[in-house]
Structure 1
């Protein structure tokens, strides 16, 4: 039996803290992870970042689901005053993912291969790291609105 918990925190999320969602490698996990990130950001007063975070989370978690055999994946969201960082960890070490050439070809009839191109377009930064036992793809969303409020 595989389980995942989606209960929101009892208090609004703290700044300079990290939150984790771990789910099984199932077709529903990208949607669950996307909604969890969106709910966390709304609860943290970061609704203005939800659209970009949902899109990028969905693409990165979907890549893990489609291109690895890792039994679980973990999404970690780190909140700071200046940014939101989302890391997707899986147990499938590999070379860093690359954007597909179909991203650059608007005439391509291929329906896949555009995910990391979307992450590249919507995230302020992104990258991937790997070691002997795992891979992490992360993206950063800068929060200009929070920086202006703190000034």
Structure 2
């Protein structure tokens, strides 16, 4: 069965061959401010719609929520005065990947591992600290990597 993401190419020996469509990429650099984080969320929502994923479908809502959290964390915990942050979005047949890169590789988020399968919730009286729980709930996989001495990227993949 063919989908909008398949390209059918004729083959002289076996007939049509289905090859996956290339991934779509979007990248934007924004100021490390709350306004920049809000704009990242809005631009990702708009880009997904341009790629054929309406705002009302669950995967778009999940990706927008993850983008909002990763962007807010980038400007809150990863901000260096005068330096921007970057949001990258990749759409494939299998998933949507969101990346938020900032300039504080010395400040890594607590990541789940074999001994702690999920992010620990904060105390009930805390007014912050639940954002990565949201990322963990929506994402199939997520993590963090240092891209250079000056850049950290937190990423999440949401299944389609």
* TM bracket, shorter-chain basis: 0.7 to 0.9
Residue 131 of structure 2 aligns with which residue? 115
Q: Are residue 75 (structure 1) and residue 87 (structure 2) matched?
A: yes
Q: TM-score, normalised by structure 2?
A: 0.73
1:16-55 pair list within 5 angstroms: 16-47=23-54, 48=57, 49-55=59-65
Instruction: Give the TM-score normalised by structure 1.
Output: 0.77
Q: Partner of 1:28: helix, strand, or coil? A: helix
Whole-angstrom CA distance in 2 between matches of 1:53 and 1:124: 11
1:1-151 matches, cutoff 5 A = 15-47=22-54, 48=57, 49-70=59-80, 71-98=83-110, 101=120, 103=121, 105=123, 108-130=124-146, 131-143=148-160
C-alpha displacement of 1:15: 4.3
| Bigger helix fraction | 1
Structure 1, unaligned stretches of length 5 or more?
1-13, 144-151
Q: How many Å separate the matches in 2 of 1:18 and 1:59? A: 20
* Residue correspondences, number: 127
Indicate the RMSD between aligned Cα atoms, in angstroms: 1.8
Shift of 1:22: 0.8
Task: Provide runs of 4+ in structure 1 moved above 3 Å.
Answer: none
